[in-house]
Chain A
Amino acid sequence: MAFYEVYSHPALIRYRSSVCTRATLFVLIVFGLTYIPPLLIAYRSQGFWLKRSTYEEQPVVQFQYQMLMIGATGTAGEFVAWSTFPNFNRLLGNNLRIPSVSVREEDSNQDGKSDRLSLQLAVPLKAGEQIYSIQLLLIFSYQLFRMSTVVMQSLAFIQHSSSVPGSQLFISGDLTLHQRTPLPHRGLHTAYNVSVVDGASPFASAYDLTNIIRAYQERNLTTHLSCPAPVWIVGRAVNAPFQINAEIRYPVESVSYRPGFWEVIKFAWIQYISVLLVFLWLFNRIQTFVFQNQNISQ
């Protein structure tokens, strides 16, 4: 006749003691050893408090239809320039050369965010003029929404020069975000929502590329055009204009931010509790062993 287990339940054994005994002291010590060392272990093994995290977002980028172009038409410092800022054009005098510009922003996946900008710029040149170098400043409006709302104006600076005069510059690159310090996890950021180029200023210093770039690079958040392979087409017919073809994509950016209080607590709690479980099990066994064997008087 075989026996089988019909039912089982754990038996509860109570050990009683007064306050000022060794058993109380032992329980207190075990309590402390159970709950405090996991905290120290979790902290000492680094990464306990999450201080920096990243998220991905495609920014809302819009070309602001503001640009500034400077092209060197000779080796002795002759140049032509143009911008969408009337004050700068007025300063230029005879060196003003108005190009024909065509711009299109495409939203290829119909999600409401522009994905790429294609820009064609044709600089008409007189006979005897050649383009040796070109500098082009494009101004964008850049917005991030997912964690903290960032609204700023940013730059793409294209600069290319060649010892051989050319007829076309082809640029295909990404408008990438650079940040020096992480963003906060919430709030509105409009500190950089000011004009990169002060178009209202009549002074030449406002349009000096050195001043513009210096002030721009001081910012925490900047964008720049990453274009590893600009293509310079050599040779130009006399009547043909110099052309700049630019294709600028707005890729998904990974933005780093400082996590908020509850996100920090969540990740710290996960780490603490996972170490604590081991300690709970261990000291539970120790306590059971000690009390079962009556090593301490209760």
Chain B
Amino acid sequence: MAAVFCAFLLFTCLVKTLCSSDADSVRFNATFSDTNRTWFDWEGSLNVTERPEGENGTLAPFSMPAAAPAEPSPAFPEEEAPEPTARPDLARVATAALPLPLSGALPLPVTRASDLCPCNVQSEQCDVNCCCDPDCSQEQALFTHCSVKKVTGDYKLCSQDAALYTLSTTPEGLSQVRTSFQQEFNPDVFCIQSANYEQGMSFVTPSTPTEQNFDYLFGHFVGFFFGSSSVTGSALETPVQGNSPGYLYGDIIQTEEEAGQRGFFRLPASAGTANCLDTNPAAFLKDQTSRCMRSFALAEDCTTLEALKLRTYTSFRIFSGKDTEANLVAMWVEAVTLQSLEGTQTLLETAADSAFEPEFLQPADVCNQVVLQVKYTVRYGEAGQIVRVAVSFVLGAVNSAMLPIQQEFQIAFVQEAKSDTMLRSSGNPGYVVGLPLVAGWRTAEGIIQSSNPEGSLTVLQSSADQDCLFSFPQRSPVLFGKDVVSGCTFRLEDGANCSLVSEAILGRLKGQSFPDYVASFGNSLPQNTMDWVPIGNQTTITGTQGCNIPLSYHLEVRWTKYGTLVNPQAQIVSVVEIIRFNTSTLSSLSTGGTIVPVTSSVSFIDVSASASPGFRVPPTINAKLPFDFFFPFV
């Protein structure tokens, strides 16, 4: 038994000896570059490998090159210069390049602990507290401690050389370095007794780069580095794919600027921050909406900043296709809407082809006709040809309190030669989560729908001033499957006309044009009135006396899943609006002029029964094994 164990130990030692020979060359392909790279920046590679266990600086001298190239001889007097003939492959080819140390060959590694002094970094000068520095003779008296106390050989050897440096104090009170060399023994059972393969204790000799093998070495050792990305600045030039004269999906639209040079269609957008990045290209067939922030100095930049001018967004012409003989398509200003300081918008007759330059009104400190919204509608024909580009603007007045402004840019692609009235359905057939509810008004011949793509069923959007009565109403569409809540406040003045206030608040909650029918499917046709669900009303007026003011408006949409289990379609079953009025009298509501909050909310309730199998099974004895009883087999 003991013999077997001894044989095992012997075998382990042997294996360790052998394996250490190429321990440095066996590693994953992806990582070898690091180890080898240390050879090339070895001016600084005399770094002591401080092993964390033990306070002494323990060296692994086998793993480091012998000398700093600056001073090969004084630190290593015993080292002979290696004969160049022994390593012809190391002779440098390009002598004009950075010289290798010792005239063309790599120095031999130093393995003797007594010759190593990692803290000796200044040539011919004493390094403070470096007890092994041979340049220090007088200065040793001033040392307070030794920065390197111990230098040892390879820690894997069973018996290793160790040089110990200690400071002692002379009777005069001065320091004195004591150097002692000794053999240290490794307590590890699996230490190396004798290394029969000396080269295995050091890194493999790197092959010197020459003109012939440089590409191979570069490809073999290179990892990641700065500037390695092959992405160049030519991404803006759309590569010609195939013979298609028109644009493909995602292509950058080529333009001709006012001065005649080629450019690309820009649609400012934000990335990383909210600021507008003006050079963002627009891509063919990618509908985009971007809102970004533009900060500028009102007086200085009002008339000079290009991004505020309408001309910036219309002055270029678009190439209808990618090829060189493509036609040029000019911008067609479809509509211009002017927005006042308060936010009221007026649509201008576009026939008046005025310039719409921003103008700075000195006394009022207002910059007028600033571009706030740009909407491009690009019509494309077959084979990706751009036929027509229409653009509509919102120009607004901006004062210093409104800075920085938000600009909105939108681009939409519409196929030419189709019907102009583009009806977007909110699902096919069932509603899709996130698309607006389809609503309309019932007439004798069917349902009338609004052409607004955002849907006609809207919900109040909370505004900054929170005023139900006097603020500019902002509304957002009711999106299927998304429960929302918002609100506003009002303050009842004494002597206010109750019915007028009630009417105003109800109008604010429901919106100007409140539909009375909702499509049960996302693509219900207006002529099929049976597909439409009336909006019910569950208004309860509790207080009969006095005045009733709506305090909350709730829209409850019940929907169910319809169809197969794998592809359920959402179908709206019923829509009920629930308006809650004040229960107490108006006087208590407005005591002391308190602010009364009014909320508006929408909730979607899934009323479909949970999925059940579509076939009847005869009753069976339910005595079966758990589903994962034979887990790895089935």
Q: Is the CB of B273 within 8 A of A77?
A: yes
Q: A49-B632, A112-B34, A141-B224 known; A204 and B28 CB under 8 Å?
A: no
A65 touches B224 (CB 8 A): yes
- Bound state CA distance, A113 and B33, in angstroms? 10
| Chain B residues near A90 (CB-CB < 8 A) | 233, 279
Q: List B contacts of A208 (CB < 8 A).
A: 270-272
- Closest residue of A by beta carbon distance from B626: A43
B225 touches A199 (CB 8 A): no
Q: How far is the CB of B167 from chain A (nearest CB, A)?
A: 29
A205-B229 contact, Cβ under 8 Å, with A60-B28, A112-B31, A113-B31: no
- Give the residue name and chain of the B residue nearest to A199 (CB): B231
At the interface with chain B, which of A14-22, A91-99, A221-229, A231-239?
A91-99
Is B277 positioned at the interface, with any CB of A under 8 Å from its CB? yes
Q: Is the CB of B231 within 8 A of A200?
A: yes
Check B361 for interface membership: any CB of A closer than 8 A: no
Asked if B620 is an interface residue, CB under 8 A from chain A, the answer is no
Would you call B30 and A62 a contact (CB within 8 A)?
yes
With contact pairs A77-B404, A264-B631 given, residues A93 and B34 touching in the complex (Cβ less than 8 Å): no
Tell me if B272 and A265 are in contact (CB < 8 A): no
Asked whether A93 and B277 contact (CB < 8 A) given A43-B629, A62-B224, the answer is yes
Report which residue of B34, B252, B293 has the largest number of chain A beta carbons within 10 angstroms of its beta carbon.
B34
Q: What is the distance, in angstroms, from B29's C-beta to the closest C-beta of chain A?
A: 10
Given the complex of chains A and B, what is the CA–CA distance between A104 and B277 in angstroms?
33
Determine whether A190 belongs to the interface, using a CB cutoff of 8 Å to chain B. Answer: no
| Neighbouring B residues of A64 by C-beta, 8 Å | 224
Q: Which of A79-87, A121-129, A272-280 contacts B (4 or more CB under 8 A)?
A: A79-87
User: Bound complex: CA of A261 vs CA of B274, how far in Å?
Assistant: 52
Given contacts A43-B629, A202-B281, contact A95 B275 (CB under 8 A): yes
Shortest C-beta distance, B27 to chain A (Å), equals 4
A63 on the B face (CB < 8 A):
yes
Q: How far is the CB of B208 from chain A (nearest CB, A)?
A: 22
Knowing A65-B228, A84-B226, the reply to whether A143 touches B281 (Cβ < 8 A) is no
- Interface contact A91-B277, CB-CB below 8 Å: yes
Kindly state the separation between the CA atoms of A107 and B30 in the bound complex, as whole angstroms.
14
Contact indicator per residue, chain B 465-490, by CB within 8 Å of chain A (1) or not (0): 00000000000000000000000000
Residues of B within 8 A of A145 (CB): 28
User: In chain A between 232 and 278, which residues have their CB closer than 8 angstroms to a CB of chain B?
Assistant: 261, 264-265
Decide if B362 is an interface residue (CB 8 Å cutoff): no
Give the most central of B28, B227, B231, B279: most A CB within 10 Å: B231
Partner of A204 from the list B32, B232, B280, B626 (CB cut-off 8 Å) is: B280
- Quick check: is B4 within 8 A (CB to CB) of the other chain? no
For the complex, give the distance between the alpha carbons of A205 and B252 in Å.
14
What B residues does A76 contact at CB under 8 A?
A: 295, 404
List residues 109-136 of chain B with CB under 8 A from any CB of chain A: none
Residue contact A93 to B279, C-beta cutoff 8 Å: yes
Per-residue A-contact encoding for B24-54, CB less than 8 Å = 1, 0 else:
1001101110110000000000000100000
The reply to whether the CB of B269 lies closer than 8 angstroms to some CB of chain A is yes
Judge whether A207 is part of the interface by a CB distance below 8 angstroms.
yes
Known A60-B28, A145-B28, A265-B632; judge A65-B225 contact (CB<8 A). yes
Return chain B residues, CB-CB under 8 Å to A62: 30-31, 223-224
CB-defined contacts of B232 to chain A, threshold 8 Å: 86
A168 near B: Cβ within 8 Å?
no
Interface membership of A160, Cβ < 8 A: no
A72 at the interface (CB under 8 A from B): yes
- Does B278 belong to the interface (CB within 8 Å)? yes
Contact with B along A184-216 (1 / 0, CB 8 A): 000000000000000111111111110000000
Interface: B80 (CB within 8 A): no
Is the pair B277, A92 in contact by a Cβ cutoff of 8 Å? yes
Q: Are B35 and A107 in contact (CB under 8 A)?
A: yes
Set A87, A93, A101, A202: member contacting B278, Cβ < 8 A: A93
Task: Please tell me which one of the listed residues A77, A143, A204 contacts residue B293 in the complex, with CB atoms under 8 A apart.
Answer: A77
Closest Cβ of chain B to A32, distance in Å, is 16
Chain A's nearest CB lies how many Å from the CB of B31? 4
Task: Name the CB-closest residue of A to B203.
Answer: A110
Contact of B233 among A43, A65, A86, A113 (CB under 8 A): A86
B172 at the interface (CB under 8 A from A): no
Chain A residues near B227: list those with CB within 8 A.
65, 84
Q: Of the candidates A49, A93, A199, A265, which one forms a contact with B229 in the assembled complex, judged by CB atoms under 8 Å apart? A: A199
What chain B residues lie within 8 Å of A152 (beta carbons)? none
CB distance from A90 to the nearest CB of B (A): 6
B residues near A284, Cβ cutoff 8 Å: none
Contact of A203 among B223, B283, B295 (CB under 8 A): B283
Given A72-B273, A77-B273, residue A112 in contact with residue B280 (CB < 8 A): no
CB-defined contacts of B632 to chain A, threshold 8 Å: 49, 261, 264-265
Contact assessment for A49 and B631 in the assembled complex, using a CB-CB cutoff below 8 Å: yes
Please, which residues of chain A bring their CB within 8 A of the CB of B281?
202-203
Closest to A64 in B: B224
Give the docked Cα–Cα distance between A34 and B288 (Å). 71
Which chain B residues border A207 with CB–CB below 8 Å? 271-272
Known: A49-B631, A85-B229. A79 touches B275 (CB 8 A): yes
Residues of B with C-beta under 8 A to A199:
229, 231
Per-position 1/0 for B1-43, Cβ under 8 A of A: 0000000000000000000000010011011101100000000
Task: Provide the residues of chain A in CB contact with B31, threshold 8 Å.
Answer: 60, 62, 112-114
A155–B34 Cα distance when bound, in Å, is 21
Write the nearest CB–CB distance from B138 to chain A, whole angstroms.
37
Given known pairs A63-B224, A70-B273, A107-B34, the reply for A200 and B235 (CB within 8 Å) is: yes
Which residues on the A side are within 8 Å of B271 (C-beta)?
88, 91, 204-209
Assess whether A287 is interfacial by the CB under 8 Å rule: no
A135 adjacent to chain B (CB < 8 Å) = yes
| List of A residues within 8 angstroms of B629 by Cβ | 43
The complex places the Cα of A43 from the Cα of B626 at a distance, in Å, of 10
Contact of B280 among A77, A103, A110, A203 (CB under 8 A): A203
Chain B residues contacting A112 (CB-CB under 8 Å) are 27-28, 31-32, 34-35
Cα distance A207–B232 in the bound complex, in angstroms: 16
Q: Does B341 sit at the interface, judged by CB under 8 A?
A: no
User: Which residues of chain B have C-beta atoms less than 8 A from A298's C-beta?
Assistant: none
CA distance A288 to B34 in the complex (A): 71
> Chain A nearest CB: distance from B77 CB in Å?
29
Interface residues of B in 63-77 (CB under 8 A from A): 63
| Contact B270–A204 (Cβ < 8 Å) | yes
- In whole angstroms, how far apart are the Cα atoms of A90 and B252 in the complex? 15
- The docked-state distance in angstroms from the alpha carbon of A113 to that of B35 is 9
Q: Is B236 an interface residue (CB 8 A)?
A: yes
Chain B 604-634, CB-CB to A under 8 Å as 1, else 0, gives 0000000000000000000000101101100
Task: Collect the chain B residues with CB atoms within 8 Å of residue A93's CB.
Answer: 277-279
Minimum Cβ distance to chain B for residue A200 (Å): 5
CA distance A135 to B225 in the complex (A): 22
CB distance from A48 to the nearest CB of B (A): 8
> Is A148 close to B, CB under 8 A?
no
The CA-CA distance from A265 to B632 in the complex, in Å, is 8
Q: Which of B226, B233, B273, B629 has the most CB of A within 10 A?
A: B273
Q: Does chain B have a CB within 8 A of A66?
A: yes
Tell whether, in the assembled complex, residue B231 and residue A87 are in contact, meaning their CB atoms are under 8 Å apart.
yes
**7 A-B Cβ contacts within 8 A?**
A66-B229, A70-B273, A77-B293, A81-B272, A103-B226, A112-B31, A204-B271
4 pairs of A and B residues whose beta carbons are closest in the complex = A112-B27, A204-B271, A204-B280, A204-B269
- Beyond contacts A65-B225, A86-B232, A143-B30: 18 other A-B pairs, Cβ-Cβ < 8 A, are A49-B628, A49-B632, A62-B31, A64-B224, A65-B227, A65-B228, A66-B224, A68-B272, A77-B273, A79-B272, A85-B229, A87-B235, A93-B278, A93-B279, A110-B63, A199-B231, A202-B236, A202-B281
